[in-house]
Amino acid sequence: MDINQTTEENLLNAIHNNRLSHTYMFEGDTLETLRRYSMFFALNIFGDTARNRALLEEGNHPDFYYLSTEETTIKKEEVAHLMHAMNNKPTETEYKVYVIEAFEKLTPQAENSLLKFLEEPPEKTIALLLTIDKSNILPTIHSRAQHVFIKGDSADRMKELGDLSEGDLQTIDVLSLNAAHIKELGEDFSRLRNAALEFSVKWINRHPLVLLDIKPMLDMCSERRDHLLLLQLIDGGVRQAMHSKLNLDIFKPYKEELKVDKMISVNHLTKMLEEIEQANKMIQFNVHPTLAFEGMVINSKG
């Protein structure tokens, strides 16, 4: 069953079984998909009637508030306006629902002002926090939310990234990469993808000079999420090589053929994947990227 179909069923079950949480964090890689699921959930919380559907589509539902911005940040004043609106009792339905799109845009002041509201929400009020980058959100907010992962729909992802090459789009779609992040990288994504592919092939085939490729590859990255993206791309290359070894053709993030030496075993590729996961954890704990990547290669020899 499709992961998002299961998610829909779980959300509907929470409504039908009267087990709604007061705060949900919808995480994913494509904002358009998260928007659609937030509207789906809100509609079903209110009741999927013609009237509720029409009010939501027109943006006039009195029990619904949608906060979004084209700016780079969401300020404390905007959050204060939302909280004021949510303190009123529902008029059309049993619940009030609010959505904050791109929650990672909240300034520290806005986030802290909302925290108290999330700790003591008005009765029958449900928050839907949408994020494509949860890494800098306060841990205290994470702890108060029920997390729901929603994989970006291919059509939404392609709509955001239509200017990239066919090979780039295939990689992005198969690996479910963060569309907003890729869009920010622009042409740099293609260079990072190609470097990751070249590195993966050398590493898989135990090229003696593969460690020399790490620094120029990391020089293409400017922040932690770039390093994590690089690991996703390398992970995709290793997994594609493993599928090829097993004569499977169900996972192919790279259009290019990955040439793998006959002597390379599935066990070796499995060990590489384990080291990628370890490097991922190290990066998330702010270990220097060079140490994480070099350790990944050296430890895989094992």
One domain, residues 147 and 164: no
Q: What is the dihedral of CA 216, 221, 225, 229, to 10 degrees?
A: -50
- Please give the pLDDT value at position 153: 87
The domain boundary residue, chosen from 152, 177, 193 = 152
One domain, residues 115 and 181: no
Expressed as residue numbers, the domain containing 29 is 3-152
One domain, residues 103 and 17: yes
One domain, residues 11 and 132: yes
Residue 27 sits in a domain of what CATH number?
3.40.50.300
Residue 296 C-alpha from the chain's centroid: 24
- Please give the pLDDT value at position 154: 82
- Please give the pLDDT value at position 295: 97
The pLDDT profile of the chain, 302 residues, written as one tens digit per residue, is 455 778 899 999 999 999 999 999 999 988 999 999 999 999 999 999 999 999 999 999 999 999 999 899 999 999 999 999 999 899 999 999 999 999 999 999 999 999 989 999 999 999 999 999 887 899 999 999 999 999 888 888 778 787 789 999 999 989 989 888 898 899 899 999 999 999 999 999 999 999 999 999 999 999 999 999 999 999 999 999 999 999 887 899 999 988 899 999 999 999 999 999 999 999 989 999 999 999 999 999 86
One domain, residues 139 and 208: no
> CA quadruple 143, 146, 151, 155: dihedral positive or negative?
negative
Alpha helices (H) in the chain, listed in sequence order: 3-16, 31-46, 50-58, 76-86, 108-119, 139-144, 154-160, 166-175, 179-185, 187-204, 214-218, 224-245, 266-284, 289-300
One domain, residues 247 and 199: yes
pTM greater than the 0.75 cutoff: no
- Please give the pLDDT value at position 302: 66
- Please give the pLDDT value at position 296: 97
One domain, residues 202 and 144: no
- Please give the pLDDT value at position 1: 44
Nearest partner of 128 among 43, 61, 201, judged by Cα = 43
Q: Are 134 and 104 in contact (CB under 8 A)?
A: yes
- Please give the pLDDT value at position 270: 96
One domain, residues 272 and 240: yes
CA distance 75 to 296: 40
Question: Cβ neighbours of residue 292 under 8 Å, at least 6 residues apart?
Answer: 227, 279, 282, 283
The domain boundary residue, chosen from 119, 152, 185 = 152
One domain, residues 209 and 282: yes
The tokens describing 294, both together, are 């070099």
Residue 75 identity: K
One domain, residues 276 and 140: no
Q: How many angstroms separate the Cα of 217 from the Cα of each of 52, 161, 198, 224, 229?
A: 51, 23, 10, 14, 12
One domain, residues 49 and 133: yes
Question: Cβ neighbours of residue 187 under 8 Å, at least 6 residues apart?
Answer: none
One domain, residues 165 and 284: yes
Task: Count up the domains in the chain and report the number.
Answer: 2
φ, ψ for residue 45, nearest 5 deg: -65, -45
- Please give the pLDDT value at position 175: 93
The domain boundary residue, chosen from 152, 182, 215 = 152
